[in-house]
Amino acid sequence: LSLVDENGDAVGAGVLGLLLSNGGTVCDDDFTDNSADAICKEMGYFGQMSWSSGDNWAIQAGLEITLDDVACSSGEWSSCSFAFVDDCSHGEDVFLQCE
């Protein structure tokens, strides 16, 4: 899991970035504030500040969608279920801002 800017460069806390998993994008199906918190914490941040989805940057078109259905019952990664197959378009790619 990582966050990148529109050039594919890593971003840190306080910056809205494209969420990547294993080099591909993450679809927003079942994605909630719990999912955002869990992913931010899993990456070493305190939690999420905001998240959104959309086909916003040119780099998205060149990436596979590698994670979908990230459903979390709490803000902890251990509470999450997810799928490695997707039924999504890049218009559903998750953008995440961690703190």
Q: What is the pLDDT of residues 38-64, one digit of tens each?
A: 999 999 999 999 999 999 999 999 999
Q: Which helix (H) or strand (E) holds 48?
A: strand 48-53
Which residue reads 């969608």 in tokens? 65
Kindly list the distances between the CA atom of residue 53 and the CA atoms of 16, 78, in Å, as whole numbers in the listed order.
11, 23
Residue 63, SS3? Answer: coil
Residues 6+ positions from 87 with CB-CB distance below 8 Å: 29, 68
What percentage of the chain exceeds 70 in pLDDT?
100
Mean pLDDT within 91-96:
98
Mean pLDDT within 19-34:
97
Residue 22: per-residue pLDDT: 96
State pTM to two decimals.
0.96
Residue 92: per-residue pLDDT: 98
Residue 62: per-residue pLDDT: 97
